[in-house]
Structure 1
Amino acid sequence: MQKPSFSKLDVLVVDPSPHMGALIGQMLRHLKVRRIDEVQSSDGAAMLLQTHRFGAIMLNDVLAPMSGVAVVKALRAASEGLNRDTPVIMMSAAPDAAEIAAARDSGVTEFLRKPFATQHIESRLVAMLAAPRPFIEAKAFVGPDRRRKRAVPKGGERRNRA
């Protein structure tokens, strides 16, 4: 599989630390990402998400006034939103299993534990762009398919895909 180019990719970075946001921005510039917007709050992210279509969103789990999980839930719930189906990478310094599950259930596409290197960002972006998971819209969930393995269900598919 050929590695996709990031030269046409626009990425929104949301981290409460301006230093961490700048560091992530440098990593993305090293990967030759076309446009990088950095904000420190969920409010700043909400403003940009209403006006610009991004190719990927990287956000910290701890934000104010809304948490990262709450931002993703709101993003996925906005049926007419520009970035409803945009892949989201959640970043966390000390995630536990419950936090990772909550992120997955909110519609997060990938997860990164801090600290991480440029190669970790690259591998997540490649996974999201080269083999995107189907976008699911159900009563209790909106976001990328949470199943990573494609297994043939026994007894047929139970979900009704529209």
Structure 2
Amino acid sequence: MNGSARINLSSANVLVVDDNPQAIELLCGVLDGFGMRKFKRAVGVDEAKEACADAVFDLILTDAQMPGVDGYEFISWLRRSADEQARLTPAIIVTAHTRRSQVTKARDCGANFIIAKPITPKIILERIIWVAQSTRMFIETENYIGPDRRFRKAGPPAEFGVGRRKEDAETAAAAEAVAGNEPSSEVQETTA
């Protein structure tokens, strides 16, 4: 990320969803450090759905694994059932599990990104800025609603290529391989 670049996040309205109130506070603390001041905390998906009915958000951060309805199902609901404005809200899934199946599930439910725990402020800020600067179209088909998943050729903004965590690079390579954009032989070379 360019050290001289500035972005004002003080007016961003963010929904943070997790079944663990301490995890919500931790994430809100990180976001507060970026200058964000408007948070809606939702303990579980039911509260998140109510929040989406009552307010418009600029960003949604949700945990993946929650009892009952998980974060993947919440994003899928958001993309298919929420009102028109809420359906387009950028959504990032935060998870401790980034197996290929989890990355695929995040992609297929319509999430913009999946971030591996443990989280770091740098990675969260990079993903927020990436979403804000994204020019990916929003796709609506019979089987998928969400951001265009075909962004391999564009890749991440150039300023994010240096210093990425190894796990993030592996997760991105796995997602691309699952999407059929990259032969599995290349993924092995990328992640070795």
Paired with 1:3 and 1:130, the residues of 2 have a C-alpha distance of 13
Paired with 1:13 and 1:80, the residues of 2 have a C-alpha distance of 19
Structure 2 residue 74 is matched with structure 1 residue 71: yes
2:33 aligns to what?
Answer: 30
Structure 2 residue 114 is matched with structure 1 residue 111: yes
CA contact (8 A) 2:13 2:57 kept: yes
2:151 aligns to what?
Answer: 148
Paired with 1:135 and 1:79, the residues of 2 have a C-alpha distance of 15
1:45 aligns to what?
Answer: 48
Structure 2 residue 133 is matched with structure 1 residue 130: yes
Paired with 2:123 and 2:152, the residues of 1 have a C-alpha distance of 21
2:94 aligns to what?
Answer: 91
Paired with 2:67 and 2:43, the residues of 1 have a C-alpha distance of 8
**Greater helix content:** 2
Paired with 1:116 and 1:92, the residues of 2 have a C-alpha distance of 9
Identity value in percent: 26
Deviation track 1:93-119 (CA, whole Å, cap 9, x = no partner) reads 122100110110110001110111111
Aligned AA for 1:129? A
Paired with 2:152 and 2:53, the residues of 1 have a C-alpha distance of 33
Task: Return the offset for 1:42.
Answer: 0.4
Deviation larger for 12-21 or 70-79: 70-79
Paired with 1:107 and 1:4, the residues of 2 have a C-alpha distance of 25
Q: Is there any run of 5+ residues in structure 1 with no aligned partner, and where?
A: 152-162
CA contact (8 A) 1:42 1:64 kept: no
Aligned residues: 151
SS of residue matched to 2:87 = coil
Aligned match of 1:13 in 13, 16, 39? 16
Task: Return the offset for 1:65.
Answer: 2.5
Deviation track 1:13-41 (CA, whole Å, cap 9, x = no partner) reads 10111111100000000001130111210
Paired with 1:112 and 1:149, the residues of 2 have a C-alpha distance of 18
CA contact (8 A) 1:14 1:59 kept: yes
Task: Return the offset for 1:126.
Answer: 0.3
Aligned match of 2:85 in 82, 86, 101? 82
CA contact (8 A) 2:94 2:115 kept: yes
Aligned AA for 1:8? S
Deviation track 1:22-75 (CA, whole Å, cap 9, x = no partner) reads 000000000011301112100010000111110000000112321111111111
Q: Is there any run of 5+ residues in structure 2 with no aligned partner, and where?
A: 155-192
Residue 79 to residue 42, structure 1, CA distance change in 2 (3 Å) = closer
